[in-house]
Amino acid sequence: FSLFKKIFICIWLLWTLKHKGDDASFPHLGESSQPPPRACPPRCSCPRPDTVDCDGLDLQVFPDNITRAAQHLSLQNNQLQELPYNELSRLSGLRTLNLHNNLISSEGLPDEAFESLTQLQHIYVAHNKLSVAPQFLPRSLRVADLAANEVTEIFPLTFGEKPALRSVYLHNNQLSNAGLPPDAFRGSEAVATLSLSSNQLSYVPPSLPPSLERLHLQNNLISKVPRGALSRQTHLRELYLQHNQLTDSGLDATTFSKLHRLEYLDLSHNQLAAVPAGLPRTLAVLHLGRNRIRWVEAARLGGLRGLRYLLLQHNQLGATGLPAGALRPLRGLHTLHLYGNRLDRVPQALPRRLRALVLPHNRVAALGARDLASTPRLAELNLAYNCLASARVHLRAFRRLRALRSLDLAGNQLTQLPSGLPAGLHTLRLERNQLRVLEPEPLAGLHQLQELSLAHNRLRVGGIGPGTWHELQALQVLDLSHNELSFVPPDLPEALEELHLQGNRIGHVGPEAFLSTPRLRALFLRANRLHMTSIAPEAFLGLLHLRVVDTMGNPEPVLVHLPPTAPRQPRAAGP
C-alpha cells in the first residue's frame, strides 16, 4: 500500500507542475499573483503607478523608460535643454507636466511637442529660456505657468480655445503689447487668474478674458488704461497696477466704472496727482501710496462706504491736502495710512469706526483736546517721528481713546510722559525723544501695559521717581537702552520678562538688582562699563527662568554667575 501511495503522489505532483497556474485552487504552485515590477527611469522615483518624479537629478537628457501609464511627470530642477517629440508623444495620458527650472529654449521645444497630450491639465515651464511661447497647448489645459522666461510673443492657440483654462502665469518675461495678439484668449472663457506683471507693457491690453477675477499688471511701463479696456471684466475682484507710470491723464471716470465686484485696487508707485474718479463702490482696499497726490477730493471717495483700508502713504499731502470731513463718508474704514506726507496736524472729522491711524514721518506739532475726539474706537495710533513737544500735547488729547491698545510717539520732542494715557494700552513706544525724568502719575492706571520702550532718551536713575513702575503689573518688556543709567533701576515690575539696558553707563550690578523681577528671561547689558567682576555673584540667584544674558561690548569679559537650575546660555564676552 505504501508503494502504491508513493506512486500516486509522484503522478499528482507531475500533473500539477505541468498545469501550474491553471487551477485557481493552487495559486502557490503557479506563477506569482503580484504584477511584474513597474519600469521607472534610473535614479527617479515612482511612488504611484501613475507618477514619475525625476526632480533635481541634474538630468541633461529627457529620461527614457517612462511608463505609458504616467499621468504626473516631474522633471523640475534639472538641466534639460530640449524636449524630444518622440518621447512626449508616447505619454498621451499625462495630466501634469512639471518642467520648472531647466534650460529649455524655444528651439528645444518643437511646435508639435504637446499635440498628443490631449489630457494635459497642468503645465509648468517657469524659469527656463523660452523666447516665445509654444504655438499650441492642449485644449484640456487648466493651469499654464510660463513665468520667468524670456518670452516676447504668444500666439492665438497658446492660450486660446481652452474652455477649462483657469490660471495663466506670464510674469517676469519680456512681453510688450505687440507680443500679445488681440485674440490671445478667444475661446477661453473660464480664465480667473492672469499674471502679466514684470513685463514691458505700455498700456492695459484689450480683449482680456471677461471671466477674470485676479489681474496682475504691476511692474510694467503702463502709462494709460485705454477706454473700454476693463469694461467687460465684471467679475474682477483684484487689480494690481502698482509700479507703473500712470498719470491722471492715463485714467478717466469710466476706467473702473464697470468693475462692479472689485474689492482690491493697487495703484501705488505711480505718478498720480489726484485720487482717480469713478472708483467702484465695492472696494475694500485702495492702495494709493507713493504717488504725487497733493489733495484728496471728498467727492471721489464719497461713495466708498465699504472701504476698509485706505493707504495714502508717501504722497505730498500738506496742511490743506486732507480737508476736514473729506473721509467722514467712509463709514466702514478700518485703517488709514498717511505715513510720510506733510501734514501738520491730525486730519479732522475722521470716520468714527476707524481702528488704526498711521501718521508717522509727518509734521504734526500739536495735539489738541479734540483732535482725536472723532475716533473713539481707535485701537492703534502711530504718531512717530513728527514734531510733537510736551507743551503742545493737551492733557486731554487721549482722553476719549478708551479702546486704544497701541500708541507710538517715538522720534518726537517730548520731554515728559503725556498725561491721560488710556488705561487699556498694551504697547507704548516713546524711544528717541528727550525724556529726562519719569514720574509715577502718567503711568498710573496702566495695568494692562505689556511693552514699554524708552530707549534713546536722556534718562538717569535719579530722574526716575519712586513708585514709577508700581502700577505696571502686566509689563513684560521694558526697553531702557541707550540712556544715561549708571546702575539698574530699582523696584522694576514683577512680571518683567525682557529687560534692555544696553548702551548705558552701568558699571556695577549689585546682589539686589533683580530681586523684584523673578520671571526675567532675557537681560541685555552689552556696551556698558562693566568689568570682569562688576556683576555680583548673587545678582542672578533667584532668576530661575533666565535664558539670555548679553554682556558683549563691555571693556572686559564679564563673569556671569547663573543660578544652578537656569539653562547656561549666557552671551558673555569681551569688547
**Which whole number is the average pLDDT over 236-263?**
97
Quote the Cα angle for 379-281-297, to 5°.
75
pLDDT of 359: 98
pLDDT in tens, 52-93: 999 999 999 999 889 999 999 999 999 999 999 998 999 999
pLDDT in tens, 357-409: 999 999 999 999 999 999 999 999 999 999 999 999 999 999 999 999 999 99
Cell of 53: 518624479
CA distance readout (Å), 418 to 194, 396, 414, 441: 51, 9, 8, 10
**Which whole number is the average pLDDT over 206-220?**
96
pLDDT-based confidence at residue 111 (cuts at 50, 70, 90): confident
Query: Amino acid letter at 75?
Result: L
pLDDT in tens, 312-368: 999 999 999 999 999 999 999 999 999 999 999 999 999 999 999 999 999 999 999
The helix/strand/coil state of 429 is strand
Which of 108, 69, 115, 111 is CA-nearest to residue 88? 115
pTM across the whole model? 0.89
- The 3 state secondary structure assigned to 228-253 is CCCCCCCCCCEEECCCCCCCHHHCCC
Cβ(334)–Cβ(354) below 8 Å: yes
Q: Which residues contact 13 (CB under 8 A, 6 or more apart)?
A: none
Which of 277, 279, 189 is CA-nearest to residue 239? 279
Backbone angles phi, psi at 426, to 5 degrees: -105, -35
Sign of CA dihedral 21, 26, 30, 32: positive
**Which whole number is the average pLDDT over 263-281?**
97
Element spanning 442, H or E: helix 440-443
pLDDT in tens, 421-463: 999 999 999 999 999 999 999 999 999 999 999 999 999 999 9
What is the share, in percent, of the chain residues with pLDDT greater than 90?
88
> What gap in Å lies between CA 349 and CA 367, rounded to an integer?
14
pLDDT of 564: 76
pLDDT of 28: 35
Whether residue 34 has pLDDT greater than 50: no
Sign of CA dihedral 36, 42, 47, 49: negative
Half-sphere exposure of 332 (CA within 13 A, CB side): 15
pLDDT of 562: 82
Q: How far is CA 214 from the centre of its chain?
A: 18
pLDDT of 273: 97
pLDDT of 3: 44
Cβ(50)–Cβ(72) below 8 Å: yes
pLDDT in tens, 378-389: 999 999 999 999
DSSP label at 111?
Answer: T
Burial class (CB in 10 A: 0-12, 13-18, 19+), 66: buried
> What gap in Å lies between CA 567 and CA 279, rounded to an integer?
59
Whether residue 207 has pLDDT greater than 50: yes
In angstroms and rounded to an integer, the radius of gyration of the C-alpha atoms of the chain is 35
pLDDT of 302: 87
What is the share, in percent, of the chain residues with pLDDT greater than 70?
91
pLDDT of 38: 62
Burial class (CB in 10 A: 0-12, 13-18, 19+), 410: buried
> What gap in Å lies between CA 43 and CA 223, rounded to an integer?
51
Sign of CA dihedral 77, 79, 80, 81: positive
Which of 573, 530, 524, 528 is CA-nearest to residue 552? 573
**Which whole number is the average pLDDT over 269-282?**
97
Strands 122-124 and 143-145: parallel
Whether residue 469 has pLDDT greater than 80: yes
Backbone angles phi, psi at 210, to 5 degrees: -70, -15
pLDDT-based confidence at residue 563 (cuts at 50, 70, 90): confident
pLDDT top residue among 567 and 477: 477
Element spanning 194, H or E: strand 193-195
Cβ(366)–Cβ(348) below 8 Å: no
Cβ(343)–Cβ(324) below 8 Å: no
> What gap in Å lies between CA 518 and CA 566, rounded to an integer?
12
Please report, to the nearest 10 degrees, the dihedral formed by the alpha carbons of residues 16, 22, 24, 29 taken in order: 40
> What gap in Å lies between CA 191 and CA 116, rounded to an integer?
23
pLDDT-based confidence at residue 29 (cuts at 50, 70, 90): very low
| Chain mean pLDDT for the chain | 92
Cβ(22)–Cβ(10) below 8 Å: no
Q: Whose grid coordinates read 486660446?
A: 160
